[in-house]
Amino acid sequence: MKHGTVCIQTGRWIRLAVSLLCGCVLGVPGRADEGVLVPPEVSLGWLQDAEDNDWTLHRQASTSTAGWKRSGWWLRGRTGARLGPRQDLLLEIGWFLPQPASGTWKTSPASVTYSFDVPSYRWGALDGLIRYHLPQDRVQLLAGVRWDSKRTRVHYEDGTDDIYRLNTYAPMLGIVAHQPAGSGDLSVRILYSPLVRGRMEYRFWVDSGGFEEHGKFRIRRGSTLECRAQYTRSVGERSRVGEFAQWGFQRVTSETSALEGGTTEHVSWRVSHRTWTVGLTASF
């Protein structure tokens, strides 16, 4: 009997692995008819900063901010596995496809400004979430972790350059509420974390003079909030299509650390952004 139980359990895990492989790698439903695979979902939306995406450098005698507005396509994919009658494991991946951007570096109290272009910007995010369905399945609770990575290169009008890298992770808590509306389903999802941590890296250099300064900074505090409203309707037996609107916020502050290179001044960073995204979504 024990051997038979082990074989049955092994078979279930094999089917689960095959279903996840089909959904994540091949992009097909796999054995969804057995209730193992959460229906994969794909979203594509236009992302725009609600205000400047600010990277603020606090020096001992001045404060400088590189600010610009990002715009481009945000691509998001989601898949997962059913862990039980009311529990799901979700994996969500997002990637930003930016448009060309430019901004201004402002320093106070000296009132110095420099224009710059953003020749390179990379932004990706990964969420691992457990979803719990409450009775009647109108409300779901979410808990998990988010990893977020941004890399920016800034080229100034005076020929100097900056590179910013920000890698953060955060425990996430959230809720999803569903409501039938017309011929479809309206859902609202909120995800929040008051405990964003991670590390930022900064590098500045002058090609002509050879001057360079750089540093690594631990994130000492931060928060992130995401609100998403989505309306979908059935197409066929298993597919759904619809529209969504999403608002996102993140703010982090680093520890004060010494720079290296041309100066050893102690500085800190604050990074903040607010975004809107509107687009289409489909699940299969």
Two tokens at 230?
């989505």
Say if residue 29 is preceded by a cis peptide, omega within 30 of 0.
Answer: no
d(CA 30, CA 38): 10
183 three-class SS: coil
Distances in Å between the Cα of 203 and the Cα atoms of 35, 89, 156, 209, 259 are 50, 38, 13, 15, 9
The per-residue pLDDT for 136 is 82
The top-level CATH class assigned to 36-283 is mainly beta
Tokens encoding 207? 């090609």
pLDDT of residue 137: 82
CA distance readout (Å), 155 to 57, 125, 203, 216, 277: 17, 25, 12, 20, 27
Q: The tokens 């500045």 sit on which residue?
A: 204
Task: Give domain limits for the chain.
Answer: 1-31, 36-283
Per-residue confidence in pLDDT tens, the chain, 284 aa? 334 443 444 444 434 443 444 343 333 333 333 458 899 999 999 999 998 899 999 999 999 999 999 999 999 999 999 999 999 999 999 999 999 999 999 999 988 899 999 999 999 999 999 999 999 889 999 999 999 999 999 999 988 999 999 999 999 999 999 999 989 999 999 999 999 999 999 999 997 767 899 999 999 999 999 999 999 999 988 899 999 999 999 999 999 999 999 899 999 999 999 999 999 999 98
The C-alpha atoms of residue 42 and residue 126 are separated, in whole angstroms, by 14
* CA dihedral sign, ordered 69, 226, 75, 229: negative
State the pTM of this model. 0.84
With beta carbons less than 8 A apart as the criterion, state whether 214 and 261 touch: yes
Specify the pLDDT at position 170: 98
